[in-house]
Copies of this chain bind each other. A is one copy, B any other.
Amino acid sequence: MKEIFISHDKHQEDNLLGILRSYGMAPAAPCGGKGICGKCRVRILKGDTTLCAPYDENQVITREEWDNGYRLACRTRVVEDLVIEVPDSHNANANIMTDCFSDTHLKPVIFKKYIELSKPSLIDQASDVDRIEREAGGAVVRDIDLVRKLPDILKNNDYKVTCVIAADEIIAVEGGDTSGACYGVAVDIGTTTIVGMLIDLNTGAEVAIYSCLNPQKQYGDDVISRIDYTRSYPDGLSKLNSLIINQLNDMLGFFCSKYDIPPACIYHMNLVGNTVMIHILSAVSVDSIAISPFNPVFTRFVGARGKDFGLDMCPEGLVTVLPTPAGYIGADTIACLSACGMAAQPGQALMIDIGTNGEIALGNRENIVACAAAAGPAFEGGHIECGVGGIAGAINKVRLDKSHVSYTTIDDAPAMGICGSGLVDAIAGMLKLGLIDSTGKIITRQEARERFSIDIVSRLRECSGKPCFLIASKETGAQRDIYITQKDIREVQLAKAAIMAGIKVLLHECKADYDDIETVYLAGGFGNYIDMDSATAIGLIPVELRDKIVPIGNGALTGAKLSLKSSDQMAEAGRIYKLIRYVELSSRPDFQDLFVDCMELV
């Protein structure tokens, strides 16, 4: 379950189903939003439920459910601010909470300390600042603005105050005992999706999660288009920067309004993301990242305060970002490495984060090499004829035998496309049956007729004059015909070749082979849902590593969360940054050959 705040100001009278979709969610709505199928139901927790949608006995909601606030998103209009509860199945990023690693020891960078100071006397003339500092365990005041405020805070609160301490600095002093309210937010800024988590820094509790599309998407799906935009318009960078800052403020607003937390009680925002996203977040030029030699402006974020970034949190609160070691190895990779713990282990491990760029890292606690393979968006459904992301109705599993094709969809919704895991399943199945050969070529109906059922043969079709294979058809309940084209197979081959060649380069760099690798950590939603047998069958992951794979879900967010909860983990991220050596694939003479070699489906 996920709770979402819907602002009336922002979404006047809009239909709730549309709003959820604009937030990157995908509630199933096979009836087309006619209020018949009942799949898009949500529950209204706050807001006038009567005004939102009149009761309709024809809707597939019982009167009792109705009275408990349940509504169909497609039939609900936003006539005032709402807080709604959305089932995980509506969420395109249902995997965001996946976190297969045990929690870290709670020791946040930021903590509060309530102190009752002795009052000044002729025997004890210590200054206000000294008076605070001697009770603050070695932390000191460094901000002249805090010094200016201090006398009034002390006098108006009878010298009973709460210090907000960040490492060795007292960043704020609050009147009375406010030690109970101390929050932080961990954020993964993806090129596509932004996910944030509100954490109670006193208890480590993960209070809430927030997910939305990256609003920069309107300026391009990938980082290169975003960079192009900043290069093409004088205000391009500042525009993309404002979009992300505003979105983060929406997130903070949601958390604060939902949990009744004053914005000033959010003292730390710890962010990860790829290097381009982090540069844009910091309003730093991304020009150099797009063109060879792809060097970023910074790799180690210099640190900032909430007020420096215009964030609606404690103005003196910390804004931290994990290091971004290279133009195409970002803070998200550091976070994944920290989340899976491979940089702390003696044995060699491989970490693969498959997305538009496949980030790959190999190593152990002494040495890590990393590279970025331009895998393209095939595994996210991009550049695939019938491809979709991991949303309701996406075909996520496919089984083929000589006579039949079967599949499942996310949320069991009528099929409306195929996502990465379904695609890999389908190609692996076709390869195994011989519907494609190891070069990826789809066989002709002629060739198929001798070996396959009529059903299979009939699925071998043509699409714009090119061969394709039908997975699901309208006649059997899908929302549309869903097939895999010859070009789709080529896209997958290119993507998996890039990743496989990257793995081989790293092995070469480490003078290691598959036997040396103890674990393969697979990050990202795709890593969670992919069928490992299919992945090894097509050679996306070497078959030798089949039994060593451990999916780690959204390792980026997990890493951001861990370093928010623990200054040791924050330091560990810094250590990983120093440990890591980036290998630029484009500068390697052997990469092109390896890439071509890996095109074969084996």
List A residues at the B interface (Cβ < 8 Å).
120-130, 141-144, 147-148, 150-152, 282-285, 287-288, 292-300, 302-304, 308, 326-327, 582, 584, 586-587
Contact = CB atoms under 8 A, between A and B. Distances in A.
A122 to B, nearest CB: 4
Contact of A125 (B148, B283, B284, B582): B582
A299 B300 CA distance: 34
A125 B584 contact: yes
A230 to B, nearest CB: 12
Contact of A120 (B124, B144, B295): B295
Given A120-B293, A142-B303, A299-B130, A151 B287 contact: yes
Contact of A127 (B129, B282, B295): B295
B287 A129 contact: no
Given A122-B587, A127-B298, A141-B298, 12 more contacts: A121-B293, A122-B584, A123-B587, A126-B299, A127-B295, A128-B296, A144-B284, A144-B302, A144-B303, A151-B284, A151-B285, A151-B288
Contacts of A128: 288, 295-298
A304 B582 contact: no
Contacts of A120: 288, 293, 295
Can you tell how many copies of this chain the complex includes?
A: 2
B125 A298 contact: no
A141 B302 contact: yes
A138 to B, nearest CB: 14
B122 A292 contact: yes
Contact of A293 (B122, B299, B327, B582): B122
Nearest to A122: B587
B127 A299 contact: yes
A248 to B, nearest CB: 16
Contacts of A152: 285
Nearest to A308: B144
Contacts of A295: 120, 125-128
A295 B129 CA distance: 10
Nearest to A145: B308
Contacts of A123: 587
A295 B587 CA distance: 65
Contacts of A122: 292-293, 584, 586-587
B125 A300 contact: no
A297 B147 contact: yes
Contact of A298 (B129, B283, B300, B582): B129
B582 A297 contact: no
Given A287-B151, A304-B144, A129 B299 contact: yes
A72 to B, nearest CB: 46
A305 to B, nearest CB: 10
Nearest to A141: B302
B297 A150 contact: yes
3 cross-chain pairs, A with B, having the tightest CB-CB distances, nearest first: A122-B587, A129-B298, A120-B295
A297 B327 contact: no
Nearest to A279: B147
Contacts of A304: 144
Contact of A297 (B151, B288, B302, B303): B151
21 contacts: A120-B288, A122-B584, A123-B587, A125-B293, A125-B295, A125-B327, A125-B584, A127-B297, A127-B299, A128-B298, A129-B297, A129-B300, A130-B298, A143-B302, A144-B308, A147-B298, A147-B302, A148-B284, A148-B285, A150-B297, A151-B284
A314 to B, nearest CB: 18
Contacts of A125: 293-295, 326-327, 582, 584
A29 to B, nearest CB: 44
A558 B296 CA distance: 46
Contacts of A327: 125
A275 to B, nearest CB: 9
A570 B143 CA distance: 20
Given A121-B293, A128-B298, A282 B144 contact: yes
A87 to B, nearest CB: 40
B584 A147 contact: no
Nearest to A126: B295
Contacts of A292: 122
A296 B131 CA distance: 11
A303 to B, nearest CB: 7
Given A122-B587, A128-B295, A302 B142 contact: yes
A237 B268 CA distance: 33
A150 to B, nearest CB: 6
A156 to B, nearest CB: 13
A130 B295 CA distance: 10
Contacts of A297: 127-129, 147, 150-151
Contacts of A303: 142, 144
Q: Choose among A122, A144, A287 the residue with the greatest number of B CB atoms under 10 Å from its CB.
A: A144
Q: Choose among A152, A287, A288, A308 the residue with the greatest number of B CB atoms under 10 Å from its CB.
A: A288
A173 to B, nearest CB: 12
A462 B144 CA distance: 56
A151 B231 CA distance: 13
Contacts of A282: 144, 147-148
